[in-house]
């Protein structure tokens, strides 16, 4: 028997996507509203090969789609990074030390996909090397997921995983550039509702299944006014946090 709640769920889910292109369009169309700005404090844990941990704290700001700023604390160190216009800008002592082209996959899949056109997202994912023609279903942490970029059971090819019901990014696997048998893994965890949208408050990075970097977000705020200068490379020093 099809109950009203089940019928509503089926309507919201829509037909299953046949490939990564259809999935990206479904992700874009799912949410009518999504936060445009984001700010949080990030507590980091780095784990070396011997299991020793070191800790650091960053402050981050985002203007979506496409702009992310990171300040490495203490703020007066003048160290951090900007991501915008598919480029990465790295700063040391308030001075730009590197600027390189870079499409940030986590920014694209975790945030920008809901706010920019599907065609823009698809172009960026193809540029990153994802095979959008391949999609299969799997399970992850007890939930159904779509996997794009690899066949069932394949963990050696570049791929991203999306929660089937919520249509949010949860996992990425990336083979090593020098040694493709090694696998770098990213997990978006601890998803929390933010109005009608979602936010992952814990991001974990692993190498061959072993933890190497953990990000935990606190003091999370969305849709707050942000100074546009935060995302201008020429104003990095002038707009960095004080104190």
Under 8 Å between Cβ of 105 and 121: no
The confidence score (pLDDT) of residue 237 equals 95
The confidence score (pLDDT) of residue 140 equals 97
Average pLDDT of the residues of the chain: 93
Strands 135-140 and 95-101: unpaired
Mean pLDDT of 92-120: 98
- Assigned fold of 18-239: outer membrane lipoprotein receptor (LolB), chain A (2.50.20)
Helix-strand-coil split of the chain, %, nearest 5? 25, 45, 35
Report pTM: 0.93
Phi, psi of 235 (to 5 degrees): -120, 20
Is pLDDT larger for residue 82 or for residue 178?
82
The confidence score (pLDDT) of residue 242 equals 75
pLDDT digits (tens, 9 = 90+) for 193-224: 999 999 999 999 999 999 999 999 999 999 99
Task: Using alpha carbons only, give the angle 220, 91, 124 rounded to the nearest 5 degrees.
Answer: 70
pLDDT digits (tens, 9 = 90+) for 159-199: 999 999 999 999 999 998 888 889 999 999 999 999 999 99
Annotated domain spans of the chain: 18-239
């Amino acid at each position: 028997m099809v109950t009203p709640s089940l019928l509503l769920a089926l309507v919201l889910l829509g037909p299953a996507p046949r490939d990564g292109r259809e999935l990206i369009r479904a992700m874009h169309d799912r949410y009518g509203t999504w936060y445009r700005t984001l700010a949080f404090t990030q507590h980091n844990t780095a784990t070396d090969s011997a299991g020793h941990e070191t800790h650091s704290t960053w402050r981050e700001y985002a203007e979506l789609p496409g702009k992310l700023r990171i300040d490495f604390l203490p703020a007066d160190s003048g160290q951090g990074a900007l991501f915008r216009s598919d480029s990465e800008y790295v700063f040391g002592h308030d001075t730009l030390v590197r600027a390189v082209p870079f499409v940030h996959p986590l920014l694209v899949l975790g945030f920008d996909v809901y706010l920019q056109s599907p065609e823009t997202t698809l172009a960026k994912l193809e540029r990153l090397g994802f095979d959008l023609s391949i999609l299969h279903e799997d399970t992850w942490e007890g939930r159904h997921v779509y996997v794009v970029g690899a066949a069932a059971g394949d963990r050696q090819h570049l791929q991203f995983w999306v929660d089937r019901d919520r249509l949010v990014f949860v996992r990425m696997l990336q083979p090593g550039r020098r040694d493709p048998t090694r696998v770098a893994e990213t997990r978006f965890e601890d998803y929390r509702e933010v109005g009608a949208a979602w936010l992952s408050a814990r991001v974990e990075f692993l190498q061959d299944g072993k933890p190497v970097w953990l990000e935990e977000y606190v003091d999370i705020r969305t849709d707050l006014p942000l100074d546009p200068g935060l995302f201008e490379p020429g104003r990095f020093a002038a707009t960095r946090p004080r104190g």
